[in-house]
């Protein structure tokens, strides 16, 4: 079974410096029918104008992943971490018992476009931590790359939940397949461009929940970039 979440059905917040689309309930956008999917709680599609950003604010008991599509995102937190995240990198922050951080566009003029992803951790009270790694999604197209996992294998960041996060960038006409083990289910998010999911057309911003044995993704545009969350925790 595949359940679509179309891009134009998402919530929206526009504060001038920030234009954000919410796949699930977030902030002032409340939708009781879309409170998340399994442990996947937030997918915010954020565009932040030059010089704009989120001032220092607290989080706790959440795995927060940032996936930059265009531009550069500057991160600072109460652990003393300071970094800039660019396309070709992934950041994971475990808020755990409590952390404060800020995120700003690293450029005074250019837009930064990124996905902000929240995943409910396997348990509360984890020690706060931060991780940032390079990923080969852009340099090795047309293949699924594991970029997040519970054990940090194959160069992925560690997500403290039963979630394997994959990413792929396509050139049009190429396809990848992924088998879901028994008891697993998935969420697919089109970060940009267009693709088909088991023959169903998806456009930029579209998402889909899946409970099927196998997934076939085919790029239908040369800039297609897709995230695949393989989960086995409810």
Q: Lay out the sheet containing 175-179: strands in order across.
A: 175-179, 214-219, 195-197, 200-202
Instruction: Please tell me the predicted confidence (pLDDT) of residue 234.
Output: 74
Residue 21 banded pLDDT, cuts 50, 70, 90: very high
Only one residue has tokens 């050139």, namely: 171
User: Interior CA angle at 222 toward 208 and 112, to 5°?
Assistant: 75
Q: Please give the pLDDT value at position 224.
A: 96
Residue 154 CB partners (closer than 8 Å, separation 6+)? 146
- The proportion of the chain whose per-residue pLDDT surpasses 70, expressed as a percent, equals 100
Is 64 a residue whose pLDDT tops 90?
yes
Alpha-carbon distance of 56 to 65, in angstroms, equals 17
| Average pLDDT of the chain, as a whole number | 96
Angle at alpha carbon of residue 169, lines to 164 and 171, rounded to 5° = 145
pLDDT score of 80: 87
The per-residue b/e assignment along 30-59, b for 16 or more CB within 10 angstroms, e otherwise, is eeeebebbbbbbbbbbbbbbeebbbeeeeb
CB–CB of 79/130 below 8 Å? yes
Average pLDDT over residues 46-61: 93
The first and second tokens of residue 188, run together, are 């697919």
pLDDT, position 184: 96
Work out the average pLDDT over 108-122.
Answer: 97
The candidate with the shortest Cα–Cα distance to 191, out of 70, 69, 19, is 69
Q: Is the pLDDT of residue 29 over 80?
A: yes
Average pLDDT over residues 21-29: 95
What pLDDT is attached to residue 111? 97
State pLDDT tens for residues 166-221: 999 999 999 999 999 999 999 999 999 999 999 999 999 999 999 999 999 999 99
SS3 202: strand
Examine the pLDDT at 139 and tell me if it is beyond 80. Answer: yes
Give CA angle at 94 (16, 146), nearest 5°: 90
Q: What is the CATH topology of the domain spanning 2-231?
A: Jelly Rolls (2.60.120)
Q: According to the model, what pLDDT value does residue 127 have?
A: 97
What pLDDT is recorded for position 26? 95
pLDDT at 117 over 80: yes
For 135-224, strand residue ranges (E) read 145-149, 157-158, 163-169, 175-179, 185-192, 195-197, 200-202, 207-210, 214-219
- The per-residue pLDDT for 6 is 98
Domain positions in the chain are 2-231
């Amino acid at each position: 079974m595949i359940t679509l979440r179309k891009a134009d059905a998402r919530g929206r917040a526009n504060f001038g410096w920030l234009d954000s689309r919410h796949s699930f309930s977030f902030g002032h956008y409340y939708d009781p029918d879309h409170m998340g999917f399994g442990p996947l709680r937030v997918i915010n599609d954020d565009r932040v104008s030059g010089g704009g950003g989120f001032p220092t604010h607290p989080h706790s008991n959440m795995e927060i992943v940032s996936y930059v599509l265009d531009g550069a995102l500057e991160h600072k937190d109460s652990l003393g971490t300071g970094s800039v995240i660019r396309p070709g990198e992934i950041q994971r922050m475990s808020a755990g018992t409590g952390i404060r951080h800020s995120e700003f566009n690293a450029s005074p003029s250019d837009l930064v476009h990124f996905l902000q992803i929240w995943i409910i951790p396997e348990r509360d009270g984890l020690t706060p931590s931060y991780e940032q790694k390079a990923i080969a999604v852009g340099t090795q197209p047309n293949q699924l790359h594991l970029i997040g996992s519970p054990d940090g294998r194959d160069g992925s960041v560690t997500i403290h939940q039963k979630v394997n996060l994959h990413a792929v960038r396509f050139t049009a006409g190429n396809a990848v397949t992924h088998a879901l083990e028994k008891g697993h289910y998935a969420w697919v998010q089109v970060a940009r461009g267009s693709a088909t999911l088991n023959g169903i057309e998806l456009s930029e911003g579209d998402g889909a929940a899946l409970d099927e044995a196998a997934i076939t993704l085919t790029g239908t545009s040369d800039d297609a970039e897709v995230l695949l969350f393989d989960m086995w925790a409810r």
